[in-house]
Amino acid sequence: MPSVVHPAHQRVLDAAARKAVSLEILTFEDDSTHTAEDAARAVGAELGQIVKSLVFVGLTDDGPEPVICLVSGANRVEVSRLAAVAGLPGLRRATAQEAHDLTGFVIGGIPPIGHLRPTRVVMDPDLGRFTTVWAAAGTPNAVFEVPPATLRILSNATVAPIAEEPQQSTDATGPATGATAFRTGAPSEA
């Protein structure tokens, strides 16, 4: 008998299908993907490859307006940077209730697409470092894998530096720091 697709997952699949993209959702029966750390462990990816979909709210004359940040799992949003990009006064992190009411999804499962209404999305350029990234698929136990350039198109995101600067390493042989250019070409590009 065919299994029933969870309605939250179906909203994500439908949003992708509207842009002619077919997604495969991976659902975990026993493992949680509630946090970026959980998701990285569940799919065997590095933390930076996990997409955090974080809801912020700013003020407009018509009331609170959501802005969703797609952030590499290794990064944190710097609100002042996001405010400069979004141009919204009073920008702050949404409460769990606001995030649910504004997107239609629960915290830990908020996907980058398929929200209740069209929502502004800003994307962290660091996600472009990876061939594919993993994002929440609508519930805290499901994710999907997608090339970052496809994610940008699906979410109609503005790519902008919104993450806190990483701590500078004093070790010259250590990992490079700072944002790299976002790759919009084929995932196989160098």
Where do contacts with ligand 5CA occur on this chain (CB under 6 A)? 33-36, 39, 50-54, 93, 95-96, 99, 107-110, 135-136, 140, 143
Residue 150 neighbours by CB distance under 10 Å: 16
Please state the closest distance from residue 4 (CB atom) to ligand 5CA, in A: 21
Please state the closest distance from residue 93 (CB atom) to ligand 5CA, in A: 6
Give the HSE-up count for residue 75: Cα atoms under 13 Å, Cβ half-sphere.
29
Q: Residue 39 has which token pair? A: 């998701």
Q: Which is nearer to ligand 5CA, 86 or 133 (CB)?
A: 133
Q: Which is nearer to ligand 5CA, 30 or 61 (CB)?
A: 30
Q: Which is nearer to ligand 5CA, 80 or 95 (CB)?
A: 95
Q: Which is nearer to ligand 5CA, 83 or 103 (CB)?
A: 103
Q: Residue 104 has which token pair? A: 């239609």
HEC-encoded secondary structure of 42-78:
HHCCCHHHEEEEEEEEEEECCEEEEEEEEEECCCCEC
| 110 residue type, one letter | I
Please state the closest distance from residue 26 (CB atom) to ligand 5CA, in A: 11
60/177 Cα distance (integer angstroms) = 35
Please state the closest distance from residue 105 (CB atom) to ligand 5CA, in A: 9
114 close to 19: Cβ distance less than 8 angstroms: no
Q: Which is nearer to ligand 5CA, 90 or 169 (CB)?
A: 90
Please state the closest distance from residue 65 (CB atom) to ligand 5CA, in A: 17
